[in-house]
Amino acid sequence: MRSDSTEFSMKIMTIFFAISLCTAFVFIFYYQDVNKSKDDISMEILQDKSGNMTLSDVKISDQFVALPGNNSKVGYSPVRLWFKIKVNRYNADEMNYLTINNPLFEDATIYFPTSNDYVTKHFGFAYKSNSDEIDFVYPAFQIPPHFDHNQYIYMTSKSLYGQNFIVQLVNDDLFRKSSLINVLAGGILFGVMAALFFYHLITGLAIKNKTFLIYCFFVFTTLLWNATTTGLLNITGFKYAYWIADYSAGIGILMSLAITIFMRAIFQTPTRFPKIDFCLKLLILYFPIDLLLFLFVSRELGAFAAGASSVVYLLYFIVMVTGIWNKTIRSPQLITAWLLFIVSIILFYLMVFGVLPQSYILIYYLFFISCVSATAFALSLAGIINDLNEEKQRNQVLFENSEIQSRQFELAFIRAQMDPHFVHNTLNVIEGVIAEDKEKAGSLVNDLSHYLRNIFDYSNSERYISIHEELDTVKFYVRIEQARFPDKIVVNYEVDPGIQLKVPRLVIQPLVENAIKHGIRKRKIAGTVTISVKRLERGFLIAVEDDGVGIEDADKYKLLEYSSNKGIGLAHINARLKAEYGTQLQIVSQKGKGTAVRFEVPIKERP
């Protein structure tokens, strides 16, 4: 039988293999797409270091460098670039479109040669609603009439995310099919993310779980980032699509903040990874500051946030590797989300640094990874909630068992505190009475047996008994004390008729015992103890009053302090009342005049 560690390792290997296989298939299609029009179009590149070159200057320049076919893999360039594009195959009888697979150009101009002159088209988010491109996922332009395919098309561009793109020439039929595929693919992926967002938002609000709400923040920023970087907002014709693209770096900062907060919540870094949690706290402070600087001071500051985002990804990697290694992270869903996240980060940076040109297949694959990763996180959250529910149920069982045990221990403690001298003295009294009054002796034996039975009834572990059962125990005790000290003790019972009340076991008898032992028996003459149970508007008042020797004011507070030689004592009774009802004993005493001990039982707390 395989061990848990072996099964866990097999799960990780299976997940890794599945992701690798899917990525491999995507790259097969990706390179097919890259090479599909490679022979139809060829390109050259020129760096405009001065930034002042015009089309006339570029046309006569001999500084162009050939690119491999129809794709550019140029990362972020601080200088403006010029591209010279040659269409090798062209059918003038068809309606044709030129597409450029990069939706994040900041400022680009394309010059189409015609029989008369050049037709100029501007695009990029710097132009906002004045862009000349057709509503498409990435920049697309209809080839103008009288297009001279024997001449070069020129394009100058600037992009914060690198100038990685594939140029394709497609006819009207293929253009419409591509549009339909983009709408379907984008709609499905967008729908998945939106469904995850709203489901977990409602769930988080319903169960008041902030981790779900943090997850919604993570999904929302991820969705907005993907919609911007894939160009999905462009295809919808959304009025502010280019405005959002203009602030895409700020959206990236916001997404990094969401990832950081989500990491702290789902990995419980404050307790499990305190050192990493300290770093995450610093990042949570840093990202909002950087976002404000980006919005109101300089857009270039967004590049600093990109570096901080790399720190987030590094911390994410450390947390996962550490958690898997020490077996604190065992969720296959969480590991799947992490591996997909790593794949998406690697591919994104490969495009940013110019290793890979952008293709709609690769762009949608990144969006697809985000959706699957978000779904895996959602399943992981569901697993966490299930674990919490199971733990809650286990804790409930343990709590119920501990409740039963606590009742048994509490009663055992009370029974253990019964004064053995009381039993010894009572038996001595019975022994002395037998010779004189056998009937009275028999009555005392009966009272003592009932009293002991009520205290030592081990078959009954109920914490609460009726007020009448408690008073019966008191009466047995009182009659024994009256036999021990004849004509010394008088007890009155003032109980409102028809009272239905349950109280904790042995909560009144110790008060009566204290009143007799410390109040009445210290008097030289007879004394009276009054036990009253009165109905109040919102509960009941129980009081034990005596006209004994009373207590000094300084000593009243000591009565509620624990002491090993006090037996059950008022301190224990007071603690039980606080735990059961949230009330406590009230002691009123005057030296030489007596003592009253009272407490209330609220109706809403009655068992």
Query: What are φ and ψ of residue 80, in 5° steps?
Result: -70, 140
The contacts of residue 320 (CB under 8 Å, 6+ apart) are 329, 334, 335, 338
Question: Of 1.10.3470, 1.20.1070, 3.30.1760, 2.60.40, which CATH number belongs to 176-388?
Answer: 1.20.1070
Residue 219 pLDDT = 93
Record the tokens describing residue 499, joined without a space: 């009272």
Is 176-388 the same fold as 37-171? no
The contacts of residue 61 (CB under 8 Å, 6+ apart) are 46, 53
| Residue 352: HSE in the Cβ half-sphere, 13 Å Cα cutoff | 12
Please give the mean pLDDT across all residues of the chain: 83
**CA distance linking residue 366 with residue 349, whole number of Å:** 12
Q: Does domain 417-605 have CATH number 3.30.565.10?
A: yes
Q: Which residues of 56-74 are buried (b: 16+ CB within 10 A; e: fewer)?
A: eebeeeeebeebebbbbbb
**CA distance linking residue 238 with residue 234, whole number of Å:** 6
Among 191, 216, 194, residue whose Cα is nearest residue 206 = 216
Residue 264 pLDDT = 92
Residue 458 pLDDT = 46
Query: Is residue 152's pLDDT more than 90?
Result: yes
Listed ranges 65-79, 110-124, 481-495, 500-514; the one with the highest mean pLDDT: 110-124
This prediction's pTM? 0.64
Domain residue limits, the chain = 37-171, 176-388, 417-605
Q: What is the DSSP string of 288-300?
A: HHHHHHHHHT-GG
Among 140, 352, 364, 123, residue whose Cα is nearest residue 242 = 123
The contacts of residue 597 (CB under 8 Å, 6+ apart) are 511, 514, 515, 543, 544, 545, 570, 585, 586, 587
Tokens 């460098």 identify what position?
65
* Helix count and strand count (H, E) for the chain: 18, 17
Out of 390-394, 479-483, 535-539, pick the least confident: 390-394
Question: Of 3.40.47.10, 1.20.20.10, 2.60.40.2380, 3.30.70.1520, which CATH number belongs to 37-171?
Answer: 2.60.40.2380
The Cβ of residue 532 has, within 10 Å, a number of other Cβ atoms equal to: 16
**CA distance linking residue 537 with residue 602, whole number of Å:** 9
Residue ranges with strand state E in 421-524: 464-466, 489-495, 502-504
pLDDT in tens, 192-241: 999 999 988 998 888 788 888 999 999 999 988 888 887 777 766 666 77
